[in-house]
Structure 1
Amino acid sequence: MVVNRKWPWSCLVAYVIFLGAVGLWVSAVDAPVSGTLSRLLVWGEGHGFGFVRYAHVEAAANLLLFVPLGFLIVLVARPRSWPWAALAGFLVSLSIELAQLGLSARTTQLRDVVFNTAGALVGALAASAWVHQSRSAHQRATRPAKRSLILTGRHSVQGRSTE
């Protein structure tokens, strides 16, 4: 299967720019939705979801934010490059967290790096599985069909009858 790597490269560059914008935003990224999120968490507490806290939502958001990064890196590179995609996720996340040290409204947390890296790993493994599955399906579809033997009461060996 021939993989066109032009669109993944474009998406990867755009996504890294997006991550940089989100990571280096001057104020907290969740500030516009903090009131809604707080009300949702309070509602969940009263409806059997009291175990869900802000830290859980933040961790899930950090993980999900980096899934596309890992996915796109594997598409740009090779399916077996998932460890490099996870490392890239770690380095991008670490860079963002270090840059946030200079932003007074942002906080730097090791937990963010861990969940961002995990997200890149999940995305990379998903892309590796998807590419492998796609290639296997393509190979099955393009493989010549095996000749089936029609049994007519005789034993057949490579097209010759034996009696």
Structure 2
Amino acid sequence: MMIAEILLFLALACLILACITDVVRFEIPDWISIAILVLAVGYGLTQPDFGWWSHLLAIVAMFVLGMLLFGTGVMGGGDVKLLVASSAWTGLSGLPPMLLGVALAGGLLAFLLLVVREGLRQANVPEERLPGMFRAGAPLPYALAITAGMLWWGWQAWPLA
């Protein structure tokens, strides 16, 4: 396996770990986002034609958008940091398809959780017996949507350049 593929695999592992921690604790540890960002830089160093400015501008654009989402209470800080780190992989041209994937997956996730939560409520399942994400009013573990968006982008952009 080449170094670039190892870095990509490690980034995917970090995204999966972010999903797990977000589902279990509604929290994405900072080190995961930092690792994804560092892995993107490492990947860029393995690519002779890596568009450094494009990737830097994607990070800045996602940071600005993320601060707006965080400031209005739409997203949590961990979600924003994960999106910013993920944008280091996409570059500017990959940002719209990645964000479209995130938005679609987030909408589907919200819909499914609403249906499941309502079904559990109607079945009179005591809330204290439910995993956190199925409890009424619990936040959305948005790392799932972010990871889905990254997979959508990666599938379209493969092989990464």
Fold equivalence (TM over 0.5):
no
Structure showing greater Rg: 1
For the aligned pair, the TM-score class normalised by the smaller chain equals 0.3 to 0.5
